[in-house]
A and B are shown apart, each in its own frame.
Chain A
């Protein structure tokens, strides 16, 4: 296209053509360079590659020599047992120990109870789950003093924390923690079930799911079939035992008449 333009204007055509030819030439030389560059780069790379290969070989050879050397020195200075060699391997074993210890600390959360030391005492984290689904975590910040005190916590207000701590906190802290664990896990499980009922069975529910904050009293109306002519049932679930996720009382009523 450019050629056409440059050729159309006669006065400028020669300069235009020359300029064009120059342009073409630079293009060719540039592309040639580009082709050469990867080649030279490749050549450089392959040279570097062989060098690395050789360096590796030399390094391995030297490593073996140093090992032998060290072994012979060690053999001749056994009574001395230099601290330095111990310190090197000690550092490695320290690092390994440190990583292992860190991992174990993290693993404690899988027991349901884990904690971190604080300046006052310990901040205990209680994890909850239901049927393998990991749910919310709660924390209790304890002050290590006589008597033991709860500095602050994230336990919901409807969990009987005062009752449980009055019974066990001072005498048996393990029992206190695991009992709290029981209540929290049960609450978490009931809440999870109620949430799933609302979301997964929306089509079956004929109205909103009514529940209290503890999720131990649920009331809802449902149909046996999502569409169609089935009549609605009213269900009321009561969970008297706050440490369980199964209801203790279930009432299902039907309002209407049955035609036989």
Chain B
């Protein structure tokens, strides 16, 4: 009955306020200050609300800058997040003071050019001694799907319900992609006629040719792979395109062994120096 009394009082108060609002005659536009006053009177009770909103605004600003900072720190921007909680504690469990809760989380955002949408379930079981949290289901949607290496990785992460590995590998993958893009771009700018990027800046192949020696081309394929454990590793290969005549003249089999030599060179000089030396070798030979 007490709750009913409270409700009745609240309703009465609301009705009084609403009556006040109705009584004000509509001003046809001449006296704007009066209109302002009437609104202020109507919502007089919210005078504390003004103070609250000022505090709220500054606090909100602080929180938003914290998110911005985290996004810069991790490279991951979370745009939306929602959570639903379901209590699965049975009466038997409550007797033994065990609590079982299922949380459904939904998260979406992006890491550089890759956007993701995650849904996962977290089962929390709390007994007297400890709290165990287990991810019981994970589903990931990613765009863009042009990175084919990612689809296999995503299904592996989903299978293992390894949420942290997903973000970790995603970060390293993106880092390698950006590094590849920067490297290819740098070589393209430095040797514009020799270097050819078939798919543009984010292509995975770089072609080296010499305009004065058509028919010869070295293609460097730079793939970024994610292994079973979630480790991100670059894999570079060399493909050669050589006219038949040149092949016949190649007594030492240099062209045949080129891919292998390329790998060895990578191990010695590293990626950038190896690529540069290849470009130079084709380039300078022609200019001689």
Contacts and interface: CB of A to CB of B under 8 A. Distances in A.
A interface, by DSSP: helix, strand, loop or mixed?
helix
Contacts of B78: 104, 107-108, 111
Given A55-B11, A69-B21, A185-B164, A133 B132 contact: yes
A47 to B, nearest CB: 10
Given A56-B11, A72-B26, A80-B32, A103 B83 contact: yes
Interface string B21-40: 11010111100100110011
Nearest to A56: B11
B35 A59 contact: no
A84 B14 contact: no
Given A76-B29, A129-B162, A185-B168, A105 B63 contact: yes
A101 to B, nearest CB: 5
Interface of B: 1, 4-5, 7-8, 11-12, 14-15, 18-19, 21-22, 24, 26-29, 32, 35-36, 39-40, 43, 46, 49-50, 52-53, 56-57, 59-60, 63-64, 66-67, 69-70, 73-76, 78-83, 105, 107, 120, 122, 132-136, 138, 160-165, 167-168, 171-172, 175, 229, 231
A81 to B, nearest CB: 10
A82 B73 contact: no
Interface in A41-88: 41, 44-45, 48-49, 51-52, 55-56, 58-59, 62-63, 65-66, 69-70, 72-73, 76-77, 79-80, 82, 84-85, 87-88
A79 to B, nearest CB: 8
Contacts of B39: 82, 84-85
A102 B11 contact: no
Given A76-B29, A94-B53, A94-B60, A178 B8 contact: no
Given A52-B7, A173-B73, A90 B53 contact: yes
Contacts of A133: 132-135
Nearest to B75: A174
Given A55-B15, A133-B134, A65 B22 contact: yes
Contacts of A152: none
A218 interface: no
A98 interface: yes
Interface string A111-154: 11111110000101001110111100000000000000000000
Contact of A244 (B59, B74, B168, B229): B229
B81 A107 contact: yes
B43 A84 contact: yes
Contacts of B29: 76-77, 79-80
Nearest to B20: A66
Can you list the 10 inter-chain pairs with the closest CB atoms, starting with the nearest? A132-B161, A112-B164, A62-B18, A107-B81, A55-B11, A132-B135, A134-B133, A84-B39, A80-B32, A111-B167
